[in-house]
Amino acid sequence: MRMNTFSVGATALLLAAAAAPAQWQQLTPATSPSARSGAGMTFNSISGNVLLFGGFVGFSASNETWSYNGSTWSQLAPTTSPTAKAGVELVCDTGSGVVVMYGGVNTSPFGGASVDQTWEWNGTSWTQVFPTTTPGGLGNYGASYDLARSRVVVYGGTANSFFPIAESGTWEWNGTNWSLITTVGTPGPLERPAMCYHAGLGRTVLFGGIDPQTGGVDTTWLYDGTNWTAATVVGPKPTARTGAKMVYDSTRNVCVMTGGADPNTGAPIVETWEFDGTRWSQAANAPTGRYDAGLAYLPGSRRTLQFGGINPVTFTTLADTWDYSRAAVIGTGCAGSNGVPELAATAGPRLGQNYTITLSNLNPVLPIAVMVLSLTTIPATPLAGIGMPGCTAYISPDLLLTVSATAGTSSNALGIPNTTSLVGVSLFAQGLSLDTVNAAGLTASNALDGMINP
């Protein structure tokens, strides 16, 4: 299909045809942690920065604390710090205003009992807390923060890395103590599962991981605070994987999972998947093959940030920083003769690159459609009054462009100037299909909010 080409001087966005950008982009921060895997990493909503701790640097564990402010990494110098740890997760406990870190694998070359420690980061320093009940030591577990119930949830892991036996316990931290939750359903013994809390579902989502005794799994599990249930997934789903990481994109209401290794062959899985609560969709290839990387979602810039990990083929640790952005969907379209027109983007817009948006489910009889571009949204406005019943306008019609279409699909490349003042600006888009199903002869798609990133 031919890519449509435009020029929009009024919005200071030059639109030109070129190859679509990759969804993942490697960043080049001025400073960065050294190569490592198994570090804990999370977005700290209290400080607005990403926090990273520890990890294996070569064959030795680290006790470094790093912060990412959206553009560069900075090593912090807390007055108190945990000893070197790896195989940990960091979880932002918004209810208590701290980041929680539990456990870690034994860092001896021969393995051994996992660490049984609970630490909290308050923004300036680490403090060890001493609950009366603990999981007894775990590493390589899955973890998330249940926002509705104000609980840190930990599942599975390894109690002793010298013995390849995975755990199947569900533990919760309420800010004071750990509690073992007895559930009817269970994902079974797992280490290195991918976990995140899906606020739209009000559930913790778990995928993958490995039971060293039996192999990997490809079931999607949901935890509601009482029981685990296997999700009924519609359509395709990811294959089994271990060491993948997953975070919740609160802007688009999806869990984003990337990386991992095949539990049977050890081959890297270079995929990124998104789960909306019912369906998995493969979004893009990941940067390079890795597992045990750090992953965090930055809501302010709508980006998923990945750091480090280990290449499962060469067993070399990585020190690269990547980010992944998508445009946020606004509203829904209205049905035409070929279904509901849908506007989608393969990636969010970036400076100096092309922002590709595709309008599908158009009237296949006509070779044209209309693209509406704007720098502002409007309150959702029903269009029944102008002969488009069931249709809604979501953006200001600042610029209307006629675009070519083939077989009901129109693909459009919008070139974004390399102008730093555009960072943080949203480019809104909505599509119109020429269709005789109503008096106006038009049906509308959903809208997209594409925030421009560096």
d(C-alpha 22, C-alpha 416), whole Å: 14
CATH of the domain at 386: 2.60.40
Q: In the beta sheet, which residues pair with residue 128? A: 119
| CA 301 vs CA 131, 387, 413, 425, 437: distances in Å | 36, 38, 22, 10, 39
The label of the residue with tokens 């959702």 reads: 380
- Specify whether 253 is located in the same domain as 388: no
Rounded Cα distance, 199 and 193, in Å: 19
Task: Identify the pLDDT of residue 347.
Answer: 85
> In angstroms, what CA-CA distances link 251 with 192, 326, 365?
26, 9, 35
0.75 exceeded by pTM? yes
Final residue of a structural domain among 325, 360, 377: 325
Q: Are 276 and 253 in contact (CB under 8 A)?
A: yes
309 and 344 together in one domain: no
Q: Which of 325, 341, 371 is the last residue of a domain?
A: 325
Query: What CATH number does residue 60 fall under?
Result: 2.120.10.80
Q: How far is the C-alpha of 295 from the C-alpha of 301, rounded, in Å?
A: 15
Nearest to 367 by CA among 413, 414, 408, 412: 408
Q: Is 418 within 8 Å of 351 (Cβ atoms)?
A: yes
Do 117 and 131 belong together in one domain?
Answer: yes
98-102 and 118-121 as β-strands: parallel, antiparallel, unpaired?
Answer: antiparallel
Residue 2 banded pLDDT, cuts 50, 70, 90: low
Average pLDDT over residues 296-304: 92
| Residue 336: predicted pLDDT | 96
Contacts of 29 by beta carbon, 8 Å cutoff, 6+ apart = 68, 71, 72, 73, 321
Reply yes or no on whether the pLDDT at 1 is more than 80: no
If asked whether residues 284 and 170 sit together in one domain, one would say yes
Predicted local confidence at residue 18, as pLDDT: 28
Same domain membership, residue 16 and residue 29: no
Q: What is the mean pLDDT of residues 66-93?
A: 96
Same domain, 37 and 78: yes
DSSP calls for 212-271: TTTEE---EEEE-SS-EEE---BS--PPP-BS-EEEEETTTTEEEEE--B-TTT--B---
Distance CA 250, CA 252 (A): 6
Which is nearest to 440 in space by CA: 399, 374, 385, 396?
385
Among 208, 202, 196, CA closest to 91: 196
Give the whole-angstrom CA distance, residue 62 versus residue 65.
9
pLDDT the model gives residue 261: 96
List the single range of 91-105, 180-194, 283-297 with lowest mean pLDDT.
283-297
Residue 320: count other Cβ atoms within 10 Å of its Cβ. Answer: 17
Residues 266 and 341 both lie in one domain? no
Q: How many helices and strands (H and E) does the chain possess?
A: 0, 38
Cα separation values, 85 from 104, 105, 244, 316, 410, Å: 6, 7, 19, 18, 51
From CA 121, how far away is CA 127, in angstroms rounded?
A: 7
At 279, is the secondary structure helix, strand, or coil? strand
pLDDT at 346: 79
7/277 Cα distance (integer angstroms): 38
With beta carbons less than 8 A apart as the criterion, state whether 263 and 210 touch: yes
Whose tokens are 């949901």? That residue is 222
Which band of pLDDT confidence, cut at 50, 70 and 90, is reported for residue 139?
very high
Cα–Cα distance, 403 to 416 (Å, whole number): 18
pLDDT tens track for 406-422: 999 999 998 899 888 88
Residue at which a domain ends, from 266, 299, 325: 325
308 and 391 share a domain? no
Q: Are residues 191 and 335 in the same domain?
A: no
> What percent of the chain shows pLDDT beyond 70?
94
Among 203, 152, 146, 197, smallest CA distance to 177 is for: 152
* pLDDT tens-place string over residues 260-296: 999 999 999 999 999 999 999 998 776 688 999 999 9
Q: Are 343 and 448 in contact (CB under 8 A)?
A: yes
* Burial class of 439 by CB neighbour count within 10 A (0 to 12, 13 to 18, 19+): exposed
Q: List the domain range (segments joined by +) for residue 208.
A: 24-325
Q: Give the span between the Cα atoms of 212 and 306, in whole angstroms.
A: 26
Residues 388 and 318 in one domain: no
Same domain, 250 and 121: yes
Domain total of the chain: 2
HSE-up (13 A, CA, CB side) for residue 164: 6
Cβ proximity of 452 and 444 under 8 Å: no
Residue 7 pLDDT greater than 70, yes or no: no
Q: pLDDT higher for 200 or 9? A: 200
Q: What pLDDT does 423 receive? A: 83
Residues 72-84, buried b or exposed e (16+ Cβ, 10 A)? ebbebebeebbeb
pLDDT at 3: 60
Domain co-membership, 13 together with 72: no
